[in-house]
Structure 1
Amino acid sequence: MFPSSETDAPISDGRDLESCSELNTQTANTSSEKDRSQPWDVSLQKTSSSTTTRQAVIAESFPVTDLDRDIVGWDGQDDPRNPQNFPEARKWLLLGCVSSITFMSPLTSSITAPGIPLMDLEFHNTSTILDSFAVSVFVLGFALGPLVFSPLSEVYGRRPVLNAANIMLTLWEIGCALAPNIGALIGFRLLCGIGGSACLTIGGGVIADLFPVEQRGKANAVFSFGPLFGPVIGPIIGGFISQRAGWRWVYWILLVACGSVTLANIIINRETNPVVLIRHKTERLRKELGRPALRSAFDDASKNDTGVRRAAFISGMFRPLRMLFTSPILLLLAVYISFVFGLLYLLFATITEVFIGSYGWDPEICGLAYIGMGLGFLIGIVIVGKTSDPTIIRLTKANNGVYEPEMRLATCLMFSFFIPVSLFWYGWSTETHTHWIVPIIGLLPFGLGLMGIFAPIQTYFIDISAQYAASSVAGLSFVRCLFGAFIPLAGPKMYSALGLGWGNSLLGFLALGLIPAPALIYKYGGGLRKRFPVRC
């Protein structure tokens, strides 16, 4: 797919950003003749360090102020107020803020799993489907929330939307702690999930705001730590709290923890959306210079017209699904990662029952069964963080300096094989009641494989979507979390009918059959993108 070359050449934008109609329109109004044909100039450059080492950098150009044409943009390519020009320490601090709540929110989704037997005793519940839904309904909120929060963040900014959603997540923990029955608990957890969903999609936008293409792989690997590792830590903590203090205390402790992280985000976090920052600058210059005709270099939403912003928000609500379902590339990758994500929550919903029933463990220590998977995530984040960006820089150099987003998927094929291997290993070791350490180790490849495919695919969605990265990730999150909410509901009946061995083997064969998906996109994705451009 990517021919080799010994030379590095300036490259055109392989991301097809001009296919997004809004971006194309606003760019045509603000750029030079060169920029009209290429909204964001992405090029492979050579920079020399103090040593003789030369490093490939994929550089982007940004719209700048041209008051003669009533255009307001950045004060040059090195404008320090541009989030991509922030000092590295500040970039990672801001990403750390978003990642902190992105860790707490998914942790909240699974922390209740070990306490389900105690909740059943109090509520006199005997339905295993309700037990599974009490855990997975939180993920249903993850699917619904981004359809509102992502367009809000693109119109009004990342920071205010994220703060409001974090407060929503925190306050509904009180409802969960005081729930009088299982129906109320499920309802309150759904509301918690909606509030906790904002960080998952807005985080993708923050990464696009702060980091250039060649740094997004590492940034997204760090950001992905929360959504994947948080649900692993949750049951470990939840098991001890539920057994020692009662299942309701899980929610009181979550109230304090989420509240603390929310407060820290309110104090430390700053706005990074360039569209919103330039809008504020435009409004300020209109007043200072007395020039009401000034307009943002990004779009027309900077006008003080609530009707325009309302229309932008309504259009933005449909953008995540429009981007997803008009692009066969994004849809195929979304289905693949969503199926694997559904398997993750199926395991979260059933591991406690398996280790209580098969190994006689107490709920207090059942959370320790997730350690193998958590170790896999840790190994995965190290590998992905160290290899993702160097891989795309190397492939770009070998491709005559042309960067293609599909280069992000180069490592997915290797990692995808770990998923079925883990399911076969875990399933048959629990079926045959081998020593408990064997299935725990068997879950390690699942964590490693999921991290190895989740981070590159999400970074691919970010790269291909330009300023609408939050909407792109929202579409991915919608499908992924629907799978995560409903696949676990089939788990109890499937295991009852097929057993742990053949039940997990069935899932393993399905995962094996989906492995070609990222490989096909890696090889043919460039042509498909040109034939079916992403519609923003």
Structure 2
Amino acid sequence: MGLGILNDKHLEVRFFRFVLLRAPLSLRLRLSQNVPGTTLFSQDPNAVAESQYAGVELSALKHGKGRNSHIVLVPQPSDDPNDPLNWPRWKKHLTYGVLMYGTVLCGALGPLVAGAQVEMAQIFGVSLQAMSRALGTALVATLGIATLVWAPLATKYGKRPVYLLSTVFMLVGTIVASEAKTYGVLLGSRILQGVGQAVCEFLCGSTINDIYFVHERGWPIALFTIALLNGINVTPPISGQVFAHLGWRWCWRIFYIATILLLVLQIFFLPETTYNRRRVVAPSKATDEKLSDLDKPELDQLESGSSHMHKQKKSFLQEMSLYSGPFDKDRSFLQLAFEPVAALLSPAVLYAVCTYGLYITFLVVIATGSAQVYVGVYSFGAVGVGNTYLAPLVADFLAAALVGPLTDYLARRLSAANGGIFEPEFRLPVMLAFFICSGAGFIGFGLSIRNHLSYWAPIIFAGILNFGITIGCHGVIAYVVECHRHSSDAALGAVIFGKNALSAIFTSFTNIWLAKGVDLAFIEMGILCIGTSLFTVPMWIYGKRVRSLIARKLHIERAAATVVDS
């Protein structure tokens, strides 16, 4: 048992670690099968390549350029100039910029008119609970269902048509909402918006993997996380100003103008990024001599990329084609749609749903509850309510800047203490910061209201709880990805589906919950965050056995061939 993590009894390495690591590759391939996620820890920039291309002469593979000329590229690009990995950097960054703009808009759509719920309920002649169901529950329930449809469509037919069609849904829904005269029309508009909004949350991460090499993905993924979370927090200060001076309908109108701009950008500057490439690798002669035919890895020759050498680069007009698929001809739509559902059986995914899903859900509850507090208790206007979200905004940026280096540092130190072996559970210690910050933030917010403290108290506590949520979300998602390295798309799709299901449940009775006392609701949210974060303890202890179970019984993630190749 290393550092409190129980060893697995089924997929553990058969020999002493020092013997195994020095054994010939053929012996390792034949005799060692390790728990998914368990791997050698290395700060070598080519450690990923050594794992990905075990038994291959790395010098024969394609390397980066300039200061990265010593890094073996993972994945290996083809010789086709249309391969997104071969795009010039300016084109990759432009595509990424369009993605981030769309992510911010998708995050903003949820709380866009949260501060106007009371007035809208009066205008449409419905209760506040009914308005909350239209603006919140209908949206997130649609998000969960739409994710199960969009994900297989993007895999089978490509990402570009899915991005464009989803933006059209979001645009139409927003236009309808801006002109809605009845409650039913408003409800329908939010359903349309949910269908469109569902795409960015799960598809952007996959698109980043399409256009960037592994060693380039750090900052794009970090900025994507910031864009997703801060799309929620940056909206109320802006929409509060619009609501106060122009009215709530103009919140929708300005948003659909922004959505029209997004659609234009996607049409011209978001080409298809899905690309089916063969593995372009060269077999190691030394490995060939040692391995029998049965032991040889299935590797394509370097010359396999020659079929792309004479391909012409697509023109700008050709890249604007709406459809370039299909890309997955082996699996049916139903098979692809079932993968995220099957991944819900993974204990690691269920842990993420109960933690990450709950934390993101609470961000929506915070938007509603804090607005009621600042208006009812502190007599803030719409502008004042919007300005209070600046503290969470700053806290999110600070947490996002710290959590990446912190998790890497902890992984490095814990792996060293574990004999150089990395376990995915080493991503979880940051949950201690969440445990402290979320508990203190939520409970402190509630107590500051109950005791009628200065408005600065809830503002500061709101910043603390958002700091904790950002760190907690990063730690949980990193853990899921490490546990499901070969099925991360399905696992993350399952997490998002579970998160949206939780959000639909909570938003359906948010106003009833808050009506019993906003102070009590925030204290209860703090207790729930503390309670769910304690799930981290059994995940730490039994996580390795859980990953073994995933590979052996659930068949969601395959067992690693070697410690290195996991």
For the aligned pair, the TM-score class normalised by the smaller chain equals 0.7 to 0.9
Q: CA deviation at 1:466?
A: 3.9
Measure the CA separation in 2 of the matches of 1:34 and 1:156. 39
Whole-Å separation in 2 of the counterparts to 1:506 and 1:515 = 14
Counterpart CA distance in 1 for 2:549 and 2:137 is 37
Counterparts of 1:492-511 in structure 2 under 5 Å? Answer: 492-497=511-516, 499-511=517-529
TM-superposed deviation, 1:440: 1.0
Alpha-carbon distance change, 258 to 206 in structure 1, aligned in 2, over 3 angstroms: same
1:160-183 CA distances to partner (integer Å, 9 max, x unpaired)? 322322232223211111212122
Give me the whole-angstrom Cα distance separating, in 1, the residues matched to 2:492 and 2:462: 27
Aligned to 1:234: 235
Paired residue type of 1:251: W
Is structure 2 residue 104 aligned with structure 1 residue 114?
A: no
Partners of 1:35 and 1:267 in 2: how far apart?
47
Pairing 1:520–2:521 present = no
1:358 matched to 2:377? The reply is yes
Q: Among 487, 505, 510, which residue is 2:506 paired with? A: 487
Q: In structure 2, how many angstroms separate the alpha carbons of the residues matched to 1:212 and 1:387?
A: 23
Q: Return the match for 2:399 from 380, 384, 403.
A: 380
Corresponding residue of 2:493:
474
Report the structure, 1 or 2, having the larger helix content.
1
Match of 2:297 in 1: none
Counterpart residue identity of residue 400, structure 2: I
Offset, 1:449: 0.7
The secondary structure found in structure 2 opposite 1:410 is coil
Residues 419 and 446 in structure 1, CA contact (< 8 A), matched pair in contact too: yes
- How many Å separate the matches in 1 of 2:514 and 2:38? 53
Looking at structure 2, the residues matched to 410 and 83 of structure 1 have their Cα atoms a distance apart, in angstroms, of 36
Offset, 1:318: 1.2
- 1:95 is displaced (CA, Å) by 3.9
One-letter amino acid of the structure 2 residue matched with residue 183 of structure 1:
G
| Corresponding position of 1:145 | 146
Equivalent of 1:459, from 454, 468, 478? Answer: 478
Distance (whole Å) between structure 1 residues aligned to residue 119 and residue 375 of structure 2: 13
What is the distance in 2 between the residues matched to 1:500 and 1:397?
Answer: 46
Task: Give the partner amino acid of 1:500.
Answer: V
Cα contact 2:145–2:497 (8 A) shared by 1: yes
DSSP-derived class of the 1:263 partner: helix
Once the two structures are superposed, residues 41-81 of structure 1 have per-residue CA deviations (whole angstroms, 9 ceiling, x without a partner) of 9765565xxxxxxx6844366689xxxxxxxxx98964444
Whole-Å Cα distance in 2 between the matches of residues 104 and 529 of structure 1? 36
Q: CA RMSD in A?
A: 3.9
CA spacing shift, 1:397–1:148, aligned 2, 3 Å? farther
Give the C-alpha shift of residue 502 in structure 1: 2.7
Residue 331 of structure 1, CA deviation: 0.8
Cα 1:231–1:388, aligned 2, differ >3 Å: closer, same or farther? same
The residue number in structure 1 matching 2:49 is 59
Deviations 1:224-263 (A, max 9, x none): 1122111111121111112211211111111111221332
> Which structure 2 residues correspond to residues 439-458 of structure 1 after superposition, within 5 A?
439-458=458-477
Matches of 2:192 and 2:223, distance apart in 1: 27
Match of 1:423 among 442, 450, 456: 442
Report what 1:314 is aligned to: 334
Q: How far apart, in 1, do the equivalents of 2:38 and 2:437 lie? A: 38
> Which consecutive residues of structure 1, in runs of 5 or more, have no partner in the other structure?
5-15, 17-31, 48-54, 65-73, 290-301
% identity of equivalent residues: 23
Give the aligned partner of residue 341 of structure 1: 360
Task: Deviation per CA, 1:324-353: give whole Å up to 9, x if none.
Answer: 22x112112211222222221111122222
One-letter code aligned to 1:433: H
The SS at the match of 2:453 is: coil
Structure 1, 509-518 or 202-211: larger mean CA deviation: 202-211
SS in 1 for 2:429: helix
**Greater shift in the superposed pair: 399-408 or 226-235:** 399-408
- Residue aligning to 1:244: 245
Aligned to 1:103: 104
- Matched letter for residue 119 of structure 1: M
Give 3-state SS (helix, strand or coil) of 1:530's partner.
helix
What corresponds to 2:205 in structure 1? 204
Counterpart of 1:530 (choices 527, 536, 548) is 548
For residues 207-356 of structure 1, the aligned pairs below 5 Å read 207-209=208-210, 218-274=219-275, 276-278=276-278, 285=307, 308=329, 311-325=331-345, 327-356=346-375
CA distance in 2, matches of 1:335, 1:41: 24
Corresponding residue of 1:50: none
Contact 1:406-1:460 at 8 Å conserved across structures:
yes
Mapped partners of 1:157, 1:409: distance in 2: 34
Q: What whole-Å deviation, never above 9, does each CA across 1:280-314 have from its counterpart, x for those lacking one?
A: x999959x99xxxxxxxxxxxx99899x45x4321
1:111-136 Cα shifts (integer Å, max 9, x gaps): 11112233233222333342354134
Q: Secondary structure at the match of 2:49?
A: strand
Describe the superposition over 1:195-239 as per-residue Cα deviations: whole angstroms up to 9, x where unpaired.
111111112323444566677665433211122111111121111
| Contact 1:45–1:57 (8 Å) recurs in 2 | yes
What CA deviation, in whole Å up to 9, does each residue of 1:457-488 have, x standing for no partner? 22333344346433322211111122223313
Contact 1:208 1:462 in 2 (8 A): no
Q: What's the TM-score, normalizing by structure 2?
A: 0.74
Is the 8 Å Cα contact of residues 375 and 447 (structure 1) preserved in structure 2? no
Q: CA deviation at 1:189?
A: 1.2
Cα separation, partners in 2 of 1:241 and 1:506, compared to 1, 3 Å: same
Size of the aligned set, in residue pairs, is 478
Query: How far apart, CA to CA, are the structure 1 residues paired with 2:53 and 2:353?
Result: 32
Q: Does the 8 A contact of 1:154 with 1:468 survive in 2? A: no
Q: In the aligned structure 2, how far is the partner of 1:141 from the partner of 1:284?
A: 45
Asked if the contact 1:177–1:248 (Cα under 8 Å) also holds between the matched residues in 2, the reply is yes
**For the residues of structure 1 that align with 2:413 and 2:478, how far apart are their CA atoms?**
17
Partner of 2:58: none
TM-score normalised by length of structure 1: 0.77
Cα distance between partner residues in 1 of 2:456 and 2:41: 48
What is residue 292 of structure 2 aligned with on the other side? none
Distance 2:481 2:268 in 1: 27
* Rounded Cα–Cα distance in structure 2 between residues aligned with 1:314 and 1:522: 34
Secondary structure at the counterpart of residue 202 of structure 1: helix
Q: Note if contact 2:40-2:420 (Cα within 8 Å) is conserved in structure 1.
A: yes
Cα pair 1:409 1:457 within 8 Å, conserved: yes
Note the C-alpha offset of 1:267. Answer: 2.8
Q: Contact (CA 8 Å) 1:373, 1:444: kept in 2 or not?
A: yes
Deviates more, 1:350-359 or 1:488-497: 488-497
Check whether the contact 1:243–1:364 (CA below 8 A) recurs between aligned residues: yes
Alpha carbons of structure 1 residues 35 and 532: separation in structure 2 relative to 1, 3 Å: same
Letter in structure 1 aligned against 2:520: W
Partner of 2:131: 130
8 Å Cα contact 2:353-2:495 kept in structure 1? yes
Question: Bigger radius of gyration, 1 or 2?
Answer: 2
- Letter in structure 2 aligned against 1:524: Y
**Secondary structure in 2 matching 1:196:** helix
Residues 369 and 514 of structure 2 are in contact (CA less than 8 Å); yes or no, is this contact kept in structure 1?
no
Deviates more, 1:175-184 or 1:106-115: 175-184
Q: Does the 8 Å contact 2:230/2:396 carry over to 1?
A: yes
How many Å separate the matches in 2 of 1:269 and 1:461? 28
State the distance in 1 between where 2:158 and 2:397 align.
32
- Could you tell me how far apart the structure 2 residues matched to 1:35 and 1:204 are? 32
